[in-house]
Amino acid sequence: MSKLSEFAANAGIWPPRKRIWLGAAVFLLLVLAAGCLIRGLGPAGRSAAARNFEIKSGDGFRDIAGRLASGEFVRSRLAFEFLAIFTGNAGKLKPGIYELNGGMSVAEVLGELVSGVHKEVTVMIPEGASVYDVDRILSGAGVISSGGLVAVNSKNRIEGKLFPDTYIFFTGSDVEDVVGKLLANFKVKVASLLGDNADAETSLIPASLVEKEVPEYKDRQIVAGIIMKRLKTNIPLQIDATICYAKAASAYPDVSPCYPLSPLDFKIDSPYNTYLHSGLPPGPIGNPGLPAINAVLSPKSSPYWYYLSDPETHKTIFSRTLDEQEQNRVKYLRSNY
């Protein structure tokens, strides 16, 4: 190699033909990169169904981008990161629960996460729903983070006071604000029935039992009377719904059908197991509506000591004696026990 060629090579001066090929290669790479970027900025396209995506306080930008990609909210993690950095929004993603879908472009997803828009949603809490049910309903609607309501209940018991009703919340709400709204409605709708006596709230426990066990108001009054009789004579209540509550509490957040109950279920070591422990459970097993509360406040006396529900008709079958109850178990429950 001549000194001139050696100098040209060292100086990065290439012959014209090589420079053309090098330029073409670089141009092709840029075109391919641009194509990939443009494609990555498009909708993920996996599903048009809306799903919730949560950003918690303290989540890092790259972690958020990774979860968006792994959850198929965006087509490309790199495309999301590029657009967020290029537009100066990488540090502006706001905590909250967002409703996103696979039909949204990366720019639309980024816009949602930056705007922090909270949408109004209507939520219906059914009569008898437990705190675990309400938590799933609210988190499923994007109102709170999963487990938020259960965590509040573990510190300051609110079971029984989450009054069943239709509510309007904002997505991404603070759980304390949500609890405040629920308790305020309970105070308006129920407090006047219970009175000022603090002990009156203990009516919520049997009300939650009859809410779960009995559909008809007149039958609820009779069952309320049975519960009072069994409490006075120290006979265990033996209410299946308390077993279901104990199962739900131990398995949360997993959801599985409670019935049919197995022999092992009746041995669950829980203060809510009214087969193992006499008296009322330590708290409500759900959130009763006004009819159930009224039934407990006006119980009816009867000759009955036992009852069960026909799983086919949901009719309440009453029994005067234990022998009669066992006969009804065989007749109506069959393989359920």
Sorting pLDDT into bands at 50, 70 and 90, what band is 226?
very high
Domains of the chain: 51-115 (3.30.1490.480), 120-194 (3.30.1490.480), 200-336 (no CATH)
pLDDT, residue 253, reads 78
pLDDT, tens digit (0-9, with 9 covering 90-100), for 280-315 = 999 999 999 999 999 999 999 999 999 988 888 889
Between CA 71 and CA 53 the distance in angstroms is 9
Which of 94-108, 115-129, 287-301 shows the lowest per-residue confidence on average (mean pLDDT)?
94-108
Those residues whose C-beta lies under 8 Å from the C-beta of residue 168, and which sit 6 or more positions away, are 120, 121, 122, 123
CB 59 within 8 A of CB 95: yes
pLDDT of residue 293: 94
pLDDT at position 223: 96
- Answer with the residue of higher pLDDT: 109 or 292: 292
Give the global pTM: 0.72
DSSP string over 273-323 = -TTTS-S--SS-SS---HHHHHHHHS----S--EEEE-TTT--EEEESSHH
Using 50, 70 and 90 to split pLDDT, how confident is the model at 72? confident
Read off the pLDDT of residues 20-63 as tens digits, 9 standing for 90 and up: 655 554 544 544 444 454 555 557 666 667 788 888 878 888 99
Residue 246 has pLDDT above 50, yes or no: yes
3-state secondary structure of 117: coil
Q: What pLDDT is attached to residue 16?
A: 63
pLDDT at position 73: 86
pLDDT value of residue 31: 45
Six-digit token string for 196: 């000022």
Provide the pLDDT for residue 34.
47
Question: What integer pLDDT is reported at residue 37 of this predicted model?
Answer: 46
